[in-house]
Structure 1
Amino acid sequence: MTAPANARTAPDLSYLLDRTSHVLRTRMASALGEIGLTARMHCVLVHALEGERTQAQLADLGDMDKTTMVVTVDALEKAGLAERKPSSADRRARIISVTPAGAELAARSVEIADGVHEAVLGSLPKGDRDVLLRALNRLVEGELSTAVEATCARRARQ
């Protein structure tokens, strides 16, 4: 007698990571939406404040394609939160400069993001929280540090 084709021999790690990631993203989107930001806008503002970065560098940090990055920066400019300026290192490149209003909103968005993360992690006993964070960091720095190209894989809708 053979085992059914759907019998699992290992935990469904893909489901667990996808589900928790999806729900965390929706909670973050809702919380940041209360101050008029998307998660992408938050990402661009926070990383642009860390130092002079080009649109391409910020897109890489936020895992955004070129088109999504342009749309995000357009929205930030329209809201008066950021502006494109020539790079001091490469005049052909544009950096994203955060305005004072953008810096103020970025500080609020960091508090909001930290609050969402704390609420999620706070739902776990401290020992479990520490183990989870250690394990996820090991995966991010090790086995899952580099994405592979797959012609059949599709990115989930954001």
Structure 2
Amino acid sequence: MKRLPTHPTAKNPPEQFTGDVWVDPIAAPQEPSQRMVVAMVRFAPGARTAWHSHVNGQTLHVTSGAALIGTRDGSVVRATPGQTVYCPPGEEHWHGAAPDHFMEHLAMFEHGDDPATSATWREHVTDEDFDAATATTAVAPTAED
């Protein structure tokens, strides 16, 4: 067993995010797996990721606020503290804070064989698309739904 080093909070890059977003790394790949990544990510109201996908999928667990998670087919779910949303491998999606709340979530994924290609980043979500998403959200369905 070993205690891992603490990393300072960092602001996420504007090339991949709209608005103010901060990340605190929690777990980075360790021997022998070299795959697991976990981070606490905090979004200011209305802040969001650009469109992206993960080679091995991504799990988002909301710890505070109200999250919006959207997919290319136009589906958008609203998730609140304690809810977890899974985005399958290769699914293009975005996630961020509702326009009237800060939001914090744990972002979890596994690197693929090449860590540099574990996430594929695309264009920003437009303000028009974000505004439309906020008007049509539902509480995230559970696996039983």
Q: Place the TM-score, normalised by the shorter chain, in its bin.
A: under 0.3
Higher strand share: 2
Higher helix share: 1
If asked which structure has higher relative contact order (CA below 8 Å, sep 6+), I would say 2
Per the normalisation by structure 1, the TM-score is 0.21
Task: Tell me which structure has the larger Cα radius of gyration.
Answer: 1
Per the normalisation by structure 2, the TM-score is 0.22
